[in-house]
Each structure stands twice: as structure tokens, then as C-alpha cells.
Amino acid sequence: MQSKKEIIFISLVIILVVTAFALYFSTFNGKLSHNPSDWGSFGSYLAGALTFPLSILSLYFIYKTYKKTEETYQLEIFKKDLDLAHEAIKEASNFIESSLDNTVNINTESIGNEKISFRDINFNPDYAKALLQQVKSDDILNGAYRTSVGKPFLCLYDFLLSAEVKFGETETIRFYKIRYQWIINLHNQFKLDIIKGPKNKQSSLEIEKYFYKENSENK
């Protein structure tokens, strides 16, 4: 669909063409000549009068074709880069999912001696309390948590944040932010101080705020 500017531009070119014809026929009384030399002169007149407006019109359509081609090309690049970003996020999610299945042994008075996975702490508050309290004091559990939860989660966070800065919050980004909110939420509830940006550029509270940002804005 043509824009208002395009319609005005094309209309001006048509007016110039019509004006050229009108000036010629009004000057020579609008009669058709039987003299070949008159037709030759008429052709020369048209060539001189119409070359400029028709050239401008041709250049305009060439420019429009170029712009449309460029926009299509840039859109294809954008879609390709977005697909790659989403794939990276999905790979990071797969990494988290496999890591959350790693198991550790815990021994507390409340639940005794049990082997649980890091995924279990999302569904069982007793497991979360028993495990995450020991993570702060037990070097083995601390290392297991860093490897199975902390590093995979930070990897996902990096991919989500970089993709959102470049493309905005897409449905895919929003989905994975909501899906893994619980990890940073539990981490901060028990003040583990493990999940944070490099050189403490992003605190764990800032990371949690990022994962909950869209949700809180919609409430």
C-alpha cells in the first residue's frame, strides 16, 4: 500500500507530464500536423520536457526497491540471530535440567539420612531447608551446589540477559525467566551468596529482581 508521500510524489510527476503536453498543444493550437518534421520537433520537445520528471520517477522506484530489499535482508538477519539466541537459551536450560538431577546425601534430625536431587528442593520445603542450610557450612555440599545449580543458572542468566538487551523480552525469554525463578529465590532466602555476577558486578538480589521483573510489572 502506497503512503501519502508516495501518492503526492507520483501525482506531481503526472502533473508535470500533463503540463508538458498541455503547453505544447496550447502553443500550437492543438492541431495534429501532417508534416513529419513537426512530429520530429514534437518528439524532441517531449524528450527534453519529460526526461527529468521520468528520470526522477525511475530513481524513486529504484530507491524504493533498494530500501525494501535492505529491510528484508535486515529482517532475515534479525530473525536468524534471534533463533540462535533462543537456541542458546534452550541449551542452557537443558544443562540446568540435567544438573538438577544430580543427587547428594543429607543427614538431619528432621528427615534422617537421605539421598536427594537438587530438583527436589523446589517441591519439598523440608528438603530445601535441610540441604541449603548445610550448603553454607559443608564444603562438599557447597561445591556440589555450585556445580549443579550455581554455574548452570548463571550460564542461563547470561544468555537471557544478553538476548533481552538485543531483542527485547520475547515469549521464549519470558518463559525461561519464569521457569527458573525458584532457583534464585531459594538461593536468596537462605543467603547462600553463590549465584552472583563476575567480580560481583550483579548481586544475587539484582539477579533475582531481573527474573521477577516482568511478573511484578504485570501485577
Task: Supply the pLDDT for residue 38.
Answer: 60
Same domain, 82 and 22: no
- 2 class by beta-carbon count within 10 Å (0-12 exposed, 13-18 middle, 19+ buried): exposed
52 in the same domain as 31 = yes
And the C-alpha cell for 50? 519529460
User: Is residue 70 domain-shared with residue 82, that is, in the same domain?
Assistant: no
Based on the fold, state whether residues 84 and 44 are members of the same structural domain.
Answer: no
pLDDT at 120: 94
The pLDDT assigned to 16 comes to 72
Query: Tens of pLDDT along the chain (219 residues)?
Result: 556 767 777 777 777 777 766 766 666 655 655 666 666 666 776 677 667 777 877 888 898 889 999 999 999 999 999 999 999 999 999 999 999 999 999 887 777 888 999 999 999 999 999 899 999 889 999 999 999 999 999 999 999 999 999 999 999 999 999 999 999 999 999 999 999 988 767 899 999 999 998 544 444
H/E run at residue 66 = helix 36-100
110 in the same domain as 39? no
Q: What is the pLDDT of residue 214?
A: 58
pLDDT of residue 14: 77
The residue whose grid cell reads 529465590 is 185
Domain boundary among 74, 106, 136: 74
What does the pLDDT read at residue 218? 46
pLDDT at 171: 96
Domain end marker among 40, 74, 108: 74
Cα separation, 35 vs 146, whole angstroms:
97
Q: Beta-carbon neighbour count of residue 144 at 10 Å?
A: 19
The pLDDT of residue 161 is: 95
Could you say which of 74, 109, 124 is where a domain stops?
A: 74
Say whether both 125 and 36 belong to one domain.
Answer: no
Residue 213 belongs to domain spanning: 78-218
Give residues with Cβ within 8 angstroms of 152, minimum separation 6: 92, 95, 96, 99
pLDDT of residue 52: 74
